[in-house]
């Protein structure tokens, strides 16, 4: 673990020198990045589609009729599935699930991971040992495998999938936060704050967290794309959300019996996942370049 730990700390230290998300011109420089623009445009469209799904979707996503396995046409722009359901409508509603799972899981695991990482790094000693033992245990396994293990225990369904993915991502954030805290803790302004009697909580919240923000933001962005892939993978395996919910992974799983005669069922749901993940990766990459954070991803 020493090598890994060392790497995290150097990484954190490098992040520190250049960090400043409030730096003048930061947003402007990101906005000039071609990758960032493409990413933001696609993401905006997806978010709007998810929010406006009831208005945009031409049909009810679960409405079946007798036009089964029809190829794309003017009536059904992306064709229909084996139960005569409109694929476009199902994909638009699927965006809701993907984005919701991606953002909620990363949001919650970010908060828990930051809390654990900052507490471990700041207090050290016994608290650090206990937290890091757990984090190291989780670090030995890929996030997706952990999510599969947890779904095996909790069972399937949207809330269990969210819990499983959330827990699976905690170690990434805890590690980065701890590494940052260990570096920042030694700075004189922290000593100064402590000397004048600023509370531990306020030091962590007001002084350490903002300075640790850059690598954490980059990791969070990348994690959202992995969380979306994880949800799609779980749904595809039949370990995801309820079968009645249209999700991209589930639509792909259902399409497998028909792929030889219905290419659209195999193509479009995958394209939807790829475009979403791609746009987030573009954005993450642009943020990484402009915040000058080195690669921090696990898987």
Partner 1 sequence: MSAYLIRRLLGAVVVMWAVATLVFFMLRMVPGDPFLAMVFDTGDPAAADDMRRAFGLDKPMYVQYLKYLQQVLQGNFGNSIYGSGIPVSQIIAEAFPRTMSLTLLGFFMALIIAIPAGLISALKKHTAIDHGVTVVAFLGLSMPDFWLAILLIIVFAAQLHWLPAIGYVALDQGFWPWFSHLIMPAIAIGTPFAAIIARMIRSSMLEVLKADYVQVARSKGLKHSYLIFMHAMPNALIPVITVMGIALALLMAGAVVVENVFAIKGLGRVLIQGILNRDYPVVQGAILVVSVIFVLANILVDMMYTVIDPRIRYQ
Residues that bind partner 1 (CB under 8 A): 2-3, 7, 136-137, 140-145, 148-149, 151-153, 155, 225, 229, 232-233, 236-239, 249, 252, 255-256, 259-260, 263, 266-267, 269-270, 273-275, 277-278, 281-282, 285, 295, 297-299
CB neighbours of residue 297 within 10 Å: 13
**Residue whose CB is less far from partner 1, 59 or 236:** 236
CB 75 within 8 A of CB 111: no
In the complex, minimum distance from the CB of residue 280 to partner 1, in angstroms, rounded to a whole number: 8
How is residue 17 annotated by DSSP? H
In the complex, minimum distance from the CB of residue 278 to partner 1, in angstroms, rounded to a whole number: 4
In the complex, minimum distance from the CB of residue 140 to partner 1, in angstroms, rounded to a whole number: 5
In the complex, minimum distance from the CB of residue 187 to partner 1, in angstroms, rounded to a whole number: 28
CB 270 within 8 A of CB 192: no
**Residue whose CB is less far from partner 1, 166 or 255:** 255
Collect all residues with Cβ–Cβ distance below 8 Å to 144 and sequence separation of at least 6: 168, 226, 229, 230, 233, 299
**Residue whose CB is less far from partner 1, 62 or 281:** 281
**Residue whose CB is less far from partner 1, 109 or 143:** 143
In the complex, minimum distance from the CB of residue 266 to partner 1, in angstroms, rounded to a whole number: 5
- State how far the Cα of 101 lies from the Cα of 95, in Å rounded to an integer: 10
CB neighbours of residue 238 within 10 Å: 11
Burial (Cβ within 10 Å: 0-12, 13-18, ≥19) of residue 269:
buried
- State how far the Cα of 225 lies from the Cα of 228, in Å rounded to an integer: 5
In the complex, minimum distance from the CB of residue 14 to partner 1, in angstroms, rounded to a whole number: 15
**Residue whose CB is less far from partner 1, 111 or 130:** 130
**Residue whose CB is less far from partner 1, 208 or 253:** 253
Inter-axis angle of helices 158-184 and 213-236, nearest 10: 160
- State how far the Cα of 121 lies from the Cα of 226, in Å rounded to an integer: 26
CB 228 within 8 A of CB 277: yes
**Residue whose CB is less far from partner 1, 132 or 204:** 132
In the complex, minimum distance from the CB of residue 195 to partner 1, in angstroms, rounded to a whole number: 36
- State how far the Cα of 239 lies from the Cα of 152, in Å rounded to an integer: 8
**Residue whose CB is less far from partner 1, 94 or 211:** 94
In the complex, minimum distance from the CB of residue 286 to partner 1, in angstroms, rounded to a whole number: 12
Element (H, E) at 49: helix 34-51
Burial (Cβ within 10 Å: 0-12, 13-18, ≥19) of residue 53:
middle
């Amino acid at each position: 673990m020493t090598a890994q730990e060392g790497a995290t700390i150097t990484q954190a230290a490098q992040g520190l020198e250049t960090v400043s998300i409030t730096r003048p011109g930061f947003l402007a420089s990101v906005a000039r990045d071609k990758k960032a623009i493409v990413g933001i445009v696609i993401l905006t469209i997806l978010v709007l589609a998810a929010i406006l799904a009831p208005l945009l979707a031409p049909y009810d996503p679960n409405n079946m009729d007798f036009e089964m396995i029809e190829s794309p046409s003017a009536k059904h722009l992306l064709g229909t599935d084996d139960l005569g359901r409109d694929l476009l409508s199902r994909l638009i509603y699927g965006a809701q699930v993907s984005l919701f799972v991606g953002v909620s899981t990363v949001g919650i695991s970010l908060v828990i991971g930051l809390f654990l990482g900052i507490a471990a790094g700041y207090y050290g000693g016994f608290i650090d040992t206990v937290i890091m033992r757990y984090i190291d245990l989780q670090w030995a396994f890929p996030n997706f495998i952990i999510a599969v293990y947890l779904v095996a225990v909790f069972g399937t369904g949207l809330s269990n999938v969210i819990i499983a993915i959330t827990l699976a991502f905690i170690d990434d954030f805890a590690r980065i936060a701890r590494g940052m805290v260990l570096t920042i803790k030694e700075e004189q302004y922290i000593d100064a704050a402590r000397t004048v009697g600023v509370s531990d909580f306020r030091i962590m919240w007001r002084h350490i967290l903002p300075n640790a923000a850059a690598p954490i933001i980059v990791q969070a962005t990348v994690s959202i794309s992995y969380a979306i892939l994880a949800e799609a993978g779980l749904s595809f395996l039949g370990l995801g959300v309820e079968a009645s919910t249209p999700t991209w992974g589930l639509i792909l799983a259902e399409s497998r019996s028909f792929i030889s005669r219905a290419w659209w069922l195999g193509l479009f749901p995958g394209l939807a996942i790829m475009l979403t993940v791609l746009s987030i990766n573009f954005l993450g990459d642009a943020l990484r370049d402009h915040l000058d954070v080195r690669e921090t991803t696990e898987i």
